Structure 1
Amino acid sequence: MIYAFDTYYFGDKAKTVCIAFESWDSEIENKIFTETTAVTADYESGAFYKRELPCVLSLLKKITLKEGDLIIVDGYVTLDNEGKTGLGGHLFQTLRGKFPVIGIAKNGFNSPDDQRRSVYRGDSKTPLFLTAIGADVDEIKCKVEEMHGNFRIPTLLKKLDQLTRTE
């Protein structure tokens, strides 16, 4: 199963949503998990994980991960070539490396990272930014390119984003 997470903030509340789907080319999710929690940290550039990781971990308590499962986060796994990790890297460490974590970000991060790939989908000239740990980033890049939908953002990731933004 693939579990994709995103969080959106409404004042002092954070709404985290996870869409579970069977395969990379799935058009429809198998299950949706949601949770609203209190915001535990302010936004900090380059340390986004401090704000979002507690939300993802809290929602993960409602999910039974199994061997072979993958996790997608809206953000980065790695941030640079110096070993700085993003939300996905911190999640991978917290889960003791048991599950691959893929970061799919909509916005660029201005530092060199040999593990970052640009993914162009549909007719978009603007890429998605892909990082991964526990899985080969080039293999994952092919999978993200094949995800359902004709636009830059795959169908299920677009739905995930929309679900987080509704109170």
Structure 2
Amino acid sequence: MKLAITVHFDGPQARVAAVAFDAWDAPEATRSFVTLIAQLEKPARGEPDLRELHCVMQLLREHALAPELILLDGFVHLDADETPGPGQHLFHALGGRVPVIGVAKASRPGLTAQFEVMREEEAKPLTVTSAGLDIGAAKVRVRGMHGRKRVPTLMKLVARLAKNGE
């Protein structure tokens, strides 16, 4: 089972959602999971923000999930030098056994065109980063996901679940 995961922050609270899928071109999730985190503390000034990691780990524990791969809404690393981002911290927290692919709608100054994925008719690319899986393979998988628009169907679904809980 693969999981697409996103975290939605609302003040001190967060809702983390995941949708399970088996095939990369699946139009629908096989299952969905939502966890509400009642209180999150902001990191101390100068410390890395690991709130997203805490949320994802809580969701995995709460629902006893052991995915073969995680597709994360966001960045695995923050630049071409692989400065750790949320996905890299998640990859290490899972012992380096579960590949993590980050899919972001925005770009970052340190991420060049080699991290971009164009999906069908859209002019603006997605930014794909990965840990535990070659970037070329990660980009092929994201490009092949279901959906005619820029953002794959399952990524839209998990974002809606995280934001609205439904």
Using the size of structure 2 for normalisation, the TM-score is: 0.89
**Does 1:60 find its partner at 2:65?**
no
Q: Percent identity?
A: 34
- Given that 2:102 and 2:130 are in contact with CA atoms closer than 8 Å, whether structure 1 keeps it comes out as yes
The RMSD of aligned alpha carbons is: 2.2
Structure 2 gap ranges (5+): none
2:64 partner letter: I
Separation (CA, whole Å) in 1 of partners of 2:3 and 2:106: 21
Give matches, 1:73-152, under 5 Å. 73-112=72-111, 117-152=115-150
- Given that 1:70 and 1:99 are in contact with CA atoms closer than 8 Å, whether structure 2 keeps it comes out as yes
2:7 partner letter: T
Number of equivalenced pairs: 163
The 1:40–1:159 alpha-carbon spacing in structure 2 relative to 1, beyond 3 Å, is: same
Separation (CA, whole Å) in 1 of partners of 2:96 and 2:120: 33
Using the size of structure 1 for normalisation, the TM-score is: 0.88
User: What does residue 4 of structure 1 align with?
Assistant: 4
Query: What is the deviation of 1:11?
Result: 2.2
- Given that 1:49 and 1:90 are in contact with CA atoms closer than 8 Å, whether structure 2 keeps it comes out as no
For the residue of structure 1 that corresponds to 2:36, the secondary structure is strand
